[in-house]
Structure 1
Amino acid sequence: MYKYVTRLLLSFCCLLIAACNDRNGMLPTSGGSPYEVTVVGDVDSILYNTLSIDVEGLPQSEPMFDVRETDVKPTDALTGVLRYARSLVVVDINPKKYDKLRLECKRNMYAEPQLIVRICAPSAKCLRDTTSDGTVLQGNTHTLVELLKTHESKAYIETLQHKHNPKMEAEVKRMFGFDIPIPADMKSCKRGKDFLWISNDSPTAMQNICIYKQQFRKRDSVMQVNIKGETDSMYMTTVHDACSVI
């Protein structure tokens, strides 16, 4: 999936207090796939719609997160198997306890990698009114979408540090003279003149890395020579307003 490849470092603005705690130790591996979020206590699918926004910059519609809702009560969310979820969002609506919306988050409390976010609000209307076009919760130190994206980015980087492909990294170093971490499952490659295409060859979630030396304005001609489609007239191109150069 494209969203698994795109890993961004996000900055936070300080508007409300949110508590985030890191915990180290021997913890079980969390359950769930990358970008899968379990939501407890959602009302009128407010959180579902918030987290199901499309990923920006893709040629097709694809939700940012795979949201899984559950009927478990918010008070029971951390007493059963859900406490081992990779990403867990618990909504607590209580007008007697809260006078405004706030976020609280804890990292790696019961499993690793893990992010548990608690959203406290006095009413469903308050929760709904603090969304901006169904995208992110506003007015909080860490917006919900940013928290979850950063959590996935950090988890991916930590995994890559322990599970990578030294053989393919050595090939990149030999051909281009720089170091870059390559995921462990990316074992297939195609070599060309100052060109290297690395892939995991997955039929369901293909990931590719293309590295080459060329003038920026000629990048699509490089793809035409090295990555053809079913016929010679078909070849891979880049999205001009979304590509970057190393």
Structure 2
Amino acid sequence: MTAPNAPALSPQEQEKAQAAAAAVGWVRDGMVLGLGTGTTSAHFITQLGERVRQGLKVQGLATSVASEALARQVGIPLLEPRRGLTFDLAVDGADELDPELRLIKGGGGALLREKVLETASRYLLVIADSSKLVPRLGRFPLPLEVVPFALPWVLDAVEKLGGAPALRMAKDDPSAPVYSDQKNLLVDCHFGQIADAERLAAQLKTIPGIVEHGLFLGLAQAAVIIQDGQAQVLRPGQSARPATEFAELP
């Protein structure tokens, strides 16, 4: 619900909030949740906090310092990392996704923690506005998280792969590089359309100094995408179906 004096949401933000609302509707008492990072995930966390204040009992672990702060602010009980911890559901946004639910993530700089938590989840649900669905990945630059010492050699290696890498710089200070929550550097790679995401992921894994890349392959079970104003559920290789058809997780 929007506060009386809150500014009106843009159409894109309305879509993000709508996708988040569908996801919140599938959260059940007792779930352990992975909380994503980014503007769409912030809508989910905020709406989940409203449900918690109404009596929903869940616990979560956030994929970034920013999401952790928001979750604490809205009253979601948080866990600490520990051995054996798995998540019933992780909910996160994506910078791009294709019809097979391959993802590019990391525009918010949280790709390492996102991949750690989402790999440890039984179910990853992606929530996104209509602009994020693409026929083929690659329009959005592919993020890498890189150990600072290794940066020059990582840039050389990615350049050889055709990635046109660029060190991510702060928007308010173009001379200052952006660091992840783990104090690593972020590099954005411009490959253009990615013909074989699995092959590229394997190639990037062989480059020393890349802590993680932003290709999330084979992790998402479903996605909620807003199309023509309606929340639609996508599953790998299947036609979209209205989210209202699903009383539980699709």
Q: After TM superposition, is the score higher than 0.5?
A: no
Structure with greater contact order relative to length (CA < 8 Å, sep ≥ 6): 2
TM-score bracket, normalised by the shorter chain, equals under 0.3
Structure having the higher helix fraction is 2
TM-score between both structures, scaled by the size of structure 2:
0.24
